[in-house]
């Protein structure tokens, strides 16, 4: 079992090192980290852990707010990109979201911005978020919803992706408030869950969006790598992703699409 988990995690690390997720996070969704930090009420002196932090989209604004921040992620390439761009003092730690190398109740606030949702075993990851948060502390999450644009993008790519490892659950389930409440159970109080949108207007055409993700977004690159030997499948997926953007486009210039996410906060019981 341990060897299988190690193989799964090695695959995840490799996937997120593909392309250039740090540039995508900085160019397309930089505001999400700020939204999460505000929702968590991060203040000076708070001990904050950002789980699956990537290149620090939430960790860096938390550190700017004066918190003592640890940014943890499974993929060292993302952490290194965060170190290079950080304009605040924080610690960067390589760590598995399902087995965090921190003590019980070590942090006042535990954050994750479209990060922990990609850990394959949701209950294990949720248990770790709770374990490292002190009683009365805050857990704050932003996750893409199943019915929003990114959730639909994953559904569109799924037929072309390699089969998920045994026991893995779909990432966008973390954007379903009932799923997250089930994961946390009675170990949290004061749960608030709001669906919100981030407006994306960085692309002129649907094909521009698709090609940007094909070049930069690890999960999309991995799917295309899986079908690289089948030109018909590549062409079909190319068309499906462009059509997805067209369906969500608000009909303005430049092309404008809302990406729905779930903003959830809770107190550790």
* Token pair listed for 160: 């072309």
- Is residue 28 domain-resident? yes
With a cut of 90, say whether residue 47 has pLDDT above it.
Answer: yes
Give the model's pLDDT for residue 1. Answer: 35
Range of the domain at 100: 2-202+257-268
Backbone phi, psi, residue 228, to 5° = -60, -30
The model's pTM is 0.95
Give the model's pLDDT for residue 3. Answer: 43
Residue 133, strand partner residues: 107
- Is residue 247 domain-resident? no
SS3 133: strand
Q: Are 234 and 224 in contact (CB under 8 A)?
A: yes
pLDDT per residue as tens digits for the range 102-125: 999 999 999 999 999 999 999 999
The total number of structural domains that make up the chain: 1
With a cut of 90, say whether residue 243 has pLDDT above it.
Answer: yes
- Is residue 213 domain-resident? no
Adjacency order of strands within the sheet including 91-94: 91-94, 68-73, 47-51, 107-113, 133-144, 255-268, 188-203
Percent helix, percent strand, percent coil in the chain, to nearest 5:
50, 25, 30
- Is residue 120 domain-resident? yes
3-state SS track over 41-52: CCCCCCEEEEEC
pLDDT per residue as tens digits for the range 202-228: 999 999 999 999 999 999 999 999 999
- Is residue 91 domain-resident? yes
Whole-angstrom Cα distance, residue 245 to residue 257?
A: 7
Give the model's pLDDT for residue 95. Answer: 97
- Is residue 62 domain-resident? yes
Question: If you average pLDDT over every residue of the chain, what do you get?
Answer: 96
Give the model's pLDDT for residue 254. Answer: 87
| Closest C-alpha to 266, from 35, 39, 99, 32 | 39
CATH of the domain at 48: 3.40.50.150
Whole-angstrom Cα distance, residue 212 to residue 98?
A: 30
Kindly report which listed range (189-193, 210-214, 249-253, 260-264) carries the lowest average pLDDT score.
249-253
- Is residue 248 domain-resident? no
Which residue has 């994961």 as its token pair? 183
Whole-angstrom Cα distance, residue 236 to residue 220?
A: 14
Q: Which residues contact 2 (CB under 8 A, 6 or more apart)?
A: none
Helix (H) or strand (E) run with residue 263 in it: strand 255-268
């Amino acid at each position: 079992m341990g060897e299988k988990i190690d193989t799964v995690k090695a695959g995840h690390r490799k996937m997120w090192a593909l392309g250039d997720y740090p540039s995508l996070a900085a160019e397309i969704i930089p505001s999400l980290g700020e939204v999460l930090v505000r929702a968590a009420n991060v203040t000076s002196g708070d001990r904050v852990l950002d789980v699956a932090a990537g290149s620090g989209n939430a960790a860096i604004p938390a550190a700017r707010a004066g918190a003592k921040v640890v940014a943890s992620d499974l993929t060292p390439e993302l952490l290194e990109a965060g170190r290079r761009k950080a304009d605040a003092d924080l610690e960067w730690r390589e760590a598995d979201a399902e087995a965090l190398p921190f003590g019980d109740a070590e942090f006042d606030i535990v954050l994750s911005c479209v990060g922990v949702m990609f850990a394959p075993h949701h209950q294990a990851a949720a248990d770790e978020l709770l374990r490292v948060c002190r009683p009365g502390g805050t857990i704050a999450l932003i996750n893409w919803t199943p019915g929003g644009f990114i959730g639909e993008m994953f559904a569109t790519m799924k037929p072309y992706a390699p089969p998920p490892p045994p026991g893995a659950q779909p990432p966008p389930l973390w954007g379903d408030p009932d799923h997250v409440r089930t994961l946390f159970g009675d170990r949290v109080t004061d749960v608030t869950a709001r669906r919100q949108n981030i407006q994306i207007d960085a692309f002129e055409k649907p094909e521009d969006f698709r090609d940007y993700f094909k070049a930069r977004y690890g999960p999309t690159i991995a799917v295309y790598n899986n079908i690289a030997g089948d030109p018909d499948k590549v062409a079909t997926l190319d068309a499906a992703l462009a059509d997805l953007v067209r369906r969500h486009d608000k009909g303005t210039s430049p092309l404008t699409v809302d990406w729905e996410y779930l903003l959830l906060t809770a107190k550790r019981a």
